[in-house]
Amino acid sequence: KNVIFETHNFPYNFFGKSNQEYSLHSTGPEFVNELTTNTGLGFLLDVAHVFISGNTRILNGIYQGSIENYFAEIVESANGRVYQLHVNVPCFEEGKGYFDIHRPFDDSELSHKIIDLTKYVVQNSPELKVITLEMDTGLSPLKHVKKLCKQTEYLNSFLNVK
């Protein structure tokens, strides 16, 4: 059994607030590396959280690479200790940036970007044990379960996992 940690996200609309320094540190590769190296903790990589934090850094000129480069740095900084993934599609609002509301996958460019980034993490995380699909639908319980099953099949078709 392993104890794992999850980073929160660093949304664009938080930039400039009092928690900026904390959020900048606690969502980046250095933080992930510090925890996995110095404590032996595993990492629960929430794809939407990393995507949101990476984009905030890119939009504010804090990170000069691409979102794909940012994911590569996060995965590498985990030192092979990515044990679990959380996967969903974030939301984007003009002027506010991306934020995490657990949207289902669809045929949008953003959904496909999240799937591509998730594939990268899966392929580069040999100790990965669990992929958790997080999804809020606003549907009744039975309709939610049906949608969740379809989403699982959809995601599995891209990730080639069962």
Segment 112-135 shows an average pLDDT of 95
CA quadruple 13, 14, 17, 18: dihedral, nearest 10: 170
pLDDT tens across 90-119, in order? 998 887 778 888 889 999 999 999 999 999
Three-state SS for the chain is CCCEEECCCCCHHHCCCCCHHHHHHHCCHHHHHHHHHHHCCEEEEEHHHHHHHHHHHHHCCCCCCCHHHHHHHHHHHCCCCEEEEEECEEEEECCCEEEEEEECCCCCHHHHHHHHHHHHHHHCCCCCCEEEECCCCCCCHHHHHHHHHHHHHHHHHHHCCC
pLDDT at 12 exceeding the cut of 70: no
Task: Quote the CA–CA distance of 24 and 54 in Å, as a whole number.
Answer: 10
Residue predicted with more confidence, 1 or 98: 98
pLDDT at 28 exceeding the cut of 60: yes
What was the pLDDT predicted at 21? 63
% of the chain with per-residue pLDDT over 90? 57
pTM score, whole prediction: 0.89
What was the pLDDT predicted at 97? 79
| β-pair type (42-46, 97-103) | unpaired
What was the pLDDT predicted at 6? 76
Name which of 10, 5, 159, 160 is nearest 81 in CA terms.
Answer: 5
pLDDT at 16 exceeding the cut of 60: no
Segment 120-139 shows an average pLDDT of 93
Phi, psi dihedral angles at 89 (to 5 degrees): -105, 120
The whole-chain average pLDDT of the chain stands at 87
Contact, 129 vs 139, CB < 8 A?
no
* Residue type (1 letter), 70: Y
Task: Quote the CA–CA distance of 48 and 123 in Å, as a whole number.
Answer: 17
Segment 122-128 shows an average pLDDT of 95
Phi, psi dihedral angles at 143 (to 5 degrees): -65, -35
Segment 43-63 shows an average pLDDT of 91
pLDDT at 86 exceeding the cut of 90: yes
pLDDT at 14 exceeding the cut of 60: no
